[in-house]
Structure 1
């Protein structure tokens, strides 16, 4: 893989114009126009703020990507998710979508994710995969580990596809872990080991989402024991945790 500075140059002068060219035919698809309308009308459900955490639905999700920097053309190649209702996992409600990338995927990424070139060639474009994810996660709070990375990727992909921004309710299970388990490294693997969650094959979007969901259940239970009752309560402690980290 090229160094990041060379990737930036390559993206600006060669790949960005190519993206615009390759995406252009999709802009006439009905699904694109429907997604554009859905996102332009999207509003957060303000009732979530004061709702009891045990009564909320959560969508715990994970992305597999071709790199760490969506701003220079790295793409989402799969989305995995599972629904929870409070502390209860909806095991029958799982989501896994492979996304067809615009540019070729290097062998290192293929080996890491276990995806094949054929699977990616046969997959749905981003607009279709994201539409399906929106439908799956409707009426829920999104959770990811770390959410900052995954939401940055989703928003960058939407911007690249000339679609409106997406601002759902989001929780970061990594920040929750920093607050509730300050003595444990906050990356996913050490947390899984500490909590005693069976480890599945990593870098598979659905597997990672399921493991993160099991971790989130554990963290949510601990938060409730700390008298955190509503989504607003949880947002407050997470914001305080971020401020404390920035000041340390």
Structure 2
């Protein structure tokens, strides 16, 4: 007799039809649809070769996350997504995405003070699965850009695995790494220092959308320097960045 307890039923469905039907059996239909969408986006992204795309026409999404802390593998969670579309060096400030996320845990007081996001504000916000789907619907197959991307990449990968058992497959560029390659002797490469260096107005720091917009403006300034060095395609930029420590 087949074991039809939840774990046994999931294993049976996995053997019969693969991971997606198995996962679908364990969640409500709406959640299963969200998961299927996220998995399809990651699968399609792996097929894309973006290296020959000219930098002046490449479609990008510059994004930022706010989180409850620094370690997604020790219980910290995303509490907001912010993103803005850029084509080449042209920022589309009206083409933006912003969502709070219910982390289903308490936001520490110091994070509330830093970000302005309170426990009351996220109480009725979308959960991670639904907010992540909204973010990926906005991103589609575009290249991702972030400043100091290690933090954001860890949290995105954790969120993708937690919700849909997939890893991030989008190309990711880091404005901090680009700045280090262009100006290795600068004393600091944090966002505030670079915004000041390039004369970019600081609006609201530690707000995911505002930080994304400011990072997008920084990207535009950096691309002027990149192009002045004879770098004209995404592949050429990646090649030069691969030699940056």
- Provide the TM-score with structure 2 as the length reference: 0.84
Query: How far apart, in 2, do the equivalents of 1:140 and 1:179 lie?
Result: 23
Structure 2 unaligned runs (5+)?
1-24
Q: Tell me which residue corresponds to 1:83.
A: 85
Q: Give runs of aligned pairs for residues 144-155 of structure 1, distance below 5 A.
A: 144-155=146-157
- Given the superposition, is the C-alpha separation of residues 40 and 179 from structure 1 closer, same or farther in structure 2, using an over 3 Å criterion? closer
3-state DSSP class of the match of 2:206? coil
3-state DSSP class of the match of 1:189? helix
Q: Give runs of aligned pairs for residues 61-72 of structure 1, distance below 5 A.
A: 61-72=63-74
On the 8 A contact 2:38/2:133 being kept in 1, the answer is no
Note the C-alpha offset of 1:73: 1.0
Q: Tell me which residue corresponds to 1:156.
A: 158
Q: Tell me which residue corresponds to 1:132.
A: 134
- Provide the TM-score with structure 1 as the length reference: 0.83
Two-structure CA RMSD over aligned residues (Å): 1.9
Q: Give runs of aligned pairs for residues 214-233 of structure 1, distance below 5 A.
A: 214-233=217-236
Aligned residues: 219
Q: Which has the higher helix share?
A: 1
Query: How far apart, in 2, do the equivalents of 1:130 and 1:78 lie?
Result: 10
On the 8 A contact 2:35/2:129 being kept in 1, the answer is no
Query: How far apart, in 2, do the equivalents of 1:237 and 1:201 lie?
Result: 32
- Given the superposition, is the C-alpha separation of residues 220 and 40 from structure 1 closer, same or farther in structure 2, using an over 3 Å criterion? closer
Q: Tell me which residue corresponds to 1:12.
A: none
Structure 1 unaligned runs (5+)?
1-24, 243-248
Structure with max Cα Rg? 2
